[in-house]
Homo-oligomer: A and B are copies of this chain.
Amino acid sequence: MESTPNILATRYASGAMRGVWSAEGRVALERDYWIAVLRAQKDLGLNIPAEAVEAYERVKGQINLESINKREAVTRHDVKARIEEFCDLAGYEHIHKGLTSRDLTENVEQLQILRGLEILRTKTLAALVKLADRAEQWKDLVITARTHNVPAQPTTFGKRLAMFGEDLLCAARELDRIVNNYPVRGLKGPVGTQMDLLTLFDGDLEKVDQLESRILDHLGVGASLENVGQVYPRGLDFEVVSVFVRLASGPSSFAKTLRIMAGHELASEGFAKGQVGSSAMPHKMNSRSCERLNGFAAILKGYLTMASELSGDQWNEGDVSCSVVRRVFLPDSFYAIDGLLDTFITILNQMEVYPAVIDQENQRYGPFLSTTTVLMEAVKAGAGREEAHEAIKEHAVATVRDLRSGVIMHNDLVDRLAADQRLGLTAEKLAAVVADAQAKTGMAATQVAQFCEAVREEVQSFPAASSYEPGAIL
Contact = CB atoms under 8 A, between A and B. Distances in A.
B292 A298 contact: no
A213 interface: no
A174 interface: yes
B2 A23 contact: yes
A286 B328 contact: no
A282 B400 contact: yes
A42 interface: no
A227 B163 contact: yes
A82 interface: no
Interface string A171-182: 101100100010
A76 interface: yes
A210 interface: no
A1 B249 CA distance: 31
Given A440-B195, A442-B193, A19 B2 contact: yes
A451 B3 CA distance: 41
A269 to B, nearest CB: 10
Interface string A305-323: 1101111111111111111
A171 B304 CA distance: 17
Q: In this complex, which of A148, A305, A399 has the most chain B Cβ atoms within 10 angstroms of its Cβ?
A: A148
Contact of A309 (B302, B321, B339, B406): B302
Interface stretch (A32-40, A112-120, A184-192, A426-434): A184-192
Q: In this complex, which of A11, A21, A287 has the most chain B Cβ atoms within 10 angstroms of its Cβ?
A: A287
Given A4-B6, A317-B160, A150 B312 contact: no
A273 interface: no
A328 B8 contact: yes
A389 B279 CA distance: 9
A447 B195 CA distance: 12
A296 B11 CA distance: 25
A225 B292 contact: no
A76 B225 CA distance: 41
A226 to B, nearest CB: 5
Interface in A346-377: 354-357, 359-360, 365, 368-369, 371-372
Given A150-B286, A396-B282, A309 B298 contact: yes
Contacts of A354: 404-405
Contact of A324 (B155, B299, B454): B299
Given A145-B316, A227-B159, A327 B7 contact: yes
Contacts of A284: 148, 150-152, 368
Interface string A222-259: 00011111100111101100100110111111001101
Interface stretch (A122-130, A260-268, A415-423, A462-470): A260-268
A294 interface: yes
A324 B312 contact: no
B324 A296 contact: yes
Given A282-B368, A442-B189, A447-B227, A263 B265 contact: no
A443 interface: yes
Contacts of A294: 312, 321
The 5 closest A-B pairs by CB, nearest first: A356-B406, A252-B312, A193-B442, A235-B249, A2-B22
